Structure 1
């Protein structure tokens, strides 16, 4: 009996091993990267430096772009791990923790909707999704949103068996979605909850009323506590957040234009591969009599609700679509055992050939970066990335070889089962990320980090007085505060500035034109990046 239990536990253990091999590399060991990650780390650094917990603050300025759940959790993690990890690594680990929670709850949901075997399949589809690969390893609040959606989906599914517990979990997920990004994403979940009884008879019972009550009660604290705290401390910041970053996101308001109706459908073919064709197959199989079944209705409504709400916003971005992967993964997991043999074999061979090419390309480009061979390719890649000096790193090479060997062994041992294509693809994605994290983390870090550029600028800064800034992006402001404790004073015109120094960001095609009162003392950019340039000026004549 014990041997039988151990044998049945092996697939779950292998899935866990694959998840860890996919998730852990790249979470620590490199600088904050430009964009969303630098901004998130800037919020955490500001909170640790004494900013009010209720007021999202970046480099000394209130910036209520989203509620502070991720910042709060990451700041606590950074304090707890301060003896072992810098703030940016601890913040990135927080993102990884939320992604792991999303995988766990998505697996639980798959088990409830389709059966025990399908929980692992939902996880495999998620880690195999191309669009999640890089985002899962960044310090971004959208990782908390992904966990919130997975928890809400699990709560909706569980409410059919345990109404009060399921409703409470669904409400917690809705509240977490609000506290992660804002009201738009929470609204999409509420819309799905209201439509479930309309579409699916399974949620049209008295028990569902108890689940709905539990959902509302559990969601209310998440929806009310932070806005009340912010109102008490900074009512103006709350009003700005509500009008600009909540109501202002909707393109239907007269002051805004440019709806992103079709945007989220245009990038899904690569972003949600291989989930979307499997999800379409599930819908096709259920087209006549199964669309109201819980395993179809729940993920379909969650997908359509979020897609519909996001399509009415005026800031369409790929990162906002991360939760769309969850319902697609559930539908894909439910369709795996019904996939025709020819389609399953095609996906398996496509995965094998794709990642054999990835292996070959990775080692050739690594050789060009770190060994200088072949010489022509080496000259080309170092021209693209001029700030990187190649170096042979035995530990990183051994790790990359280990990923290649493990993937090849897995392919040899895989039996011809309906799960084989998903396992092969998820393992291939894991291989690709393992190669990226081991062989290319250093050159990518040289390109994506502001650290070296800020270090080169630091000697040119004034020893006394403030530094004004013009057109400086939020990521750069955050990293100046994080690396050298410099908080610039943003100005729209030089007439507003009384500072002896001015830092300007500009495009190389449109260099700044300043008066003779300013003298350029430094200019620079991230190595390899030409469009995003910076210049530091010192005032020649003091004001009287």
Structure 2
């Protein structure tokens, strides 16, 4: 006997979210951060360095090197995508913009696959709302569409999604491929051809982006879920067996490809071995996956009878399996936030199934908290920007000058117009939400998704010059190149991947190891390990015949120093 559904949804509650509004919200989330900014320090800058080396033919495609160093993250697919884009768009687009084009498409594909995956789960029999005695309950297609809208809004509202999805790194590729696998497994019994294509693409993409173990776990867990439904009708049982066989076959193909590429790496370890603290992990989960995680917990509580029932409910157990796998990776690998990123689409799916069960008081609490939090954030962003532009009030501008030494504020009419229009749209949305209108089950997530999108848009328009100055290597690298007089080549010693990529890109320099030819007149040396929290001195090379001329630090971190040497010129 099936357990009664906790979802009681009338047809009036599944009215359509206007497509133009949803598309505009997604565009406002995706495009800012990809357009108009410099590569930021860290994985974003290092990835661009490898992409340029591949695009220029300076390193092998199967074993890319940057200054003799292999990439820190496994998986070649992200570097291939960026390099191909640079080659195809040269000389019409700048390299940093060209390299981001595939990743813009990956973010869009992630959002699209999330929507259709949740739509398919909401169409499953176990996810349907209670049928009313005299009719009037939500129709399956309308109900599934409203749930998918709510799930996509939950994904956009997650605070930790914004920055990682705007960097050209393997983590974004893994996120997209995870979502494709999720979509394929959720849609399999309903749309076999498209689902199988998405599943195969996602599995191969995970292997090529450095996450083969995740691919295997996703597929094996889903196959077990399909096979465990021993009480299904004969036709449903046949489809479940066929799809479980396909999932197992995709797992075998992924394993064979991983073995052929010699990509098996054991990365899991106890948190203590990685220097992690359980309290820090809890804090990360609280803010990174907000507000999806409390809604997901509410779903597990309200649908607990369906979860514990002898017949598995795919709309609950499939996203739960994805969440558990990715949470395990977040606990046992580094960096935790990038591993946790892969759980967000599945968490959004679970959060969507909380919407039909929310009480009116809880919905009002979400609205008021969101309104206060994001309105305060928007006001703070505008006040600090006005202060840097006009000096009034004086305190925020003084704090900016202290944190970003040497920064000169810039005014962009386009950025100001976009930010102002977005802020006015937020005000209009708040006015609409506070008004009297027919309820919809997705209404509680409109303000969180719009507030997160607005804050990200304001940061990447009004604050973009300041963020570029602080988070990129432009000031330091261009100063080094200017002090050296833009030489044709420069020796390097002790530089990490980010510093090498930044000096080659921003300084337009050809870097040569210290002991290699050609013989250059300049040397840049990193005296401290830039990745360590406590700056550790690096071993000094034999600098006989070199003179230290300059020490150049970053505006944000005085301890991040690069030393510029010049070779002695023999005197006649």
- Which of the residues 417, 438, 455 maps onto 2:478? 455
Which residue is equivalent to 2:61?
Answer: 53
C-alpha change, 1:385 and 1:223, in structure 2 (3 Å) is same
Report the secondary structure of 2:28's partner residue: helix
1:113 aligns with 2:121: yes
Which residue is equivalent to 1:233?
Answer: none
Question: 1:83 Cα deviation (Å)?
Answer: 4.2
Report the secondary structure of 2:324's partner residue: helix
1:136 aligns with 2:165: yes
Say whether the 8 Å CA contact 2:147–2:441 is kept in structure 1.
no
After alignment, is 322-331 or 388-397 more displaced?
A: 388-397
After alignment, is 273-282 or 375-384 more displaced?
A: 375-384
C-alpha change, 1:505 and 1:30, in structure 2 (3 Å) is farther
In the aligned structure 2, how far is the partner of 1:222 from the partner of 1:42?
28
Superposed, 1:106-505 pairs within 5 Å as 106-114=114-122, 115-163=144-192, 165-197=194-226, 205-215=237-247, 217=249, 228=260, 242=264, 246-247=265-266, 249-251=267-269, 257-258=273-274, 262=278, 264-291=281-308, 292-313=312-333, 315-414=334-433, 415=437, 416-461=439-484, 467-470=491-494, 472-483=495-506, 484-489=508-513, 501-505=523-527
Which residue is equivalent to 1:27?
Answer: 34
Question: 1:140 Cα deviation (Å)?
Answer: 1.7
Say whether the 8 Å CA contact 2:216–2:251 is kept in structure 1.
no
Question: 1:141 Cα deviation (Å)?
Answer: 1.9
Structure 2 unmatched runs, 5+: 1-13, 123-143
Report the secondary structure of 2:240's partner residue: helix
1:526 aligns with 2:523: no
Say whether the 8 Å CA contact 1:168–1:217 is kept in structure 2.
no
**CA deviations over 1:206-226 (Å, ceiling 9, x no partner):** 433332443455566666568
After alignment, is 22-31 or 57-66 more displaced?
A: 57-66
Which residue is equivalent to 2:138?
Answer: none
Report the secondary structure of 1:102's partner residue: helix
Question: 1:76 Cα deviation (Å)?
Answer: 2.2
After alignment, is 192-201 or 321-330 more displaced?
A: 192-201
In the aligned structure 1, how far is the partner of 2:228 from the partner of 2:563?
58
In the aligned structure 2, how far is the partner of 1:175 from the partner of 1:318?
23
Structure 1 unmatched runs, 5+: 1-6, 231-237, 492-496
In the aligned structure 2, how far is the partner of 1:476 from the partner of 1:111?
45
Which residue is equivalent to 1:234?
Answer: none
After alignment, is 479-488 or 266-275 more displaced?
A: 479-488
Aligned residues: 514
C-alpha change, 1:387 and 1:199, in structure 2 (3 Å) is farther
Report the secondary structure of 1:57's partner residue: coil
Question: 1:459 Cα deviation (Å)?
Answer: 4.4
**CA deviations over 1:346-366 (Å, ceiling 9, x no partner):** 001111111221121111100
In the aligned structure 2, how far is the partner of 1:88 from the partner of 1:122?
32
Which residue is equivalent to 1:235?
Answer: none
Q: Which has the higher helix share?
A: 1
Say whether the 8 Å CA contact 2:522–2:564 is kept in structure 1.
no
Report the secondary structure of 1:42's partner residue: helix
**CA deviations over 1:114-151 (Å, ceiling 9, x no partner):** 11211111111111100001222222221111111111
In the aligned structure 2, how far is the partner of 1:360 from the partner of 1:260?
35
**CA deviations over 1:8-36 (Å, ceiling 9, x no partner):** 76622211111111111121111111011
Say whether the 8 Å CA contact 2:404–2:555 is kept in structure 1.
yes
TM-score where L is the length of structure 2: 0.81
CA RMSD of aligned residues (A): 3.2
Question: 1:403 Cα deviation (Å)?
Answer: 0.7
After alignment, is 218-227 or 88-97 more displaced?
A: 218-227
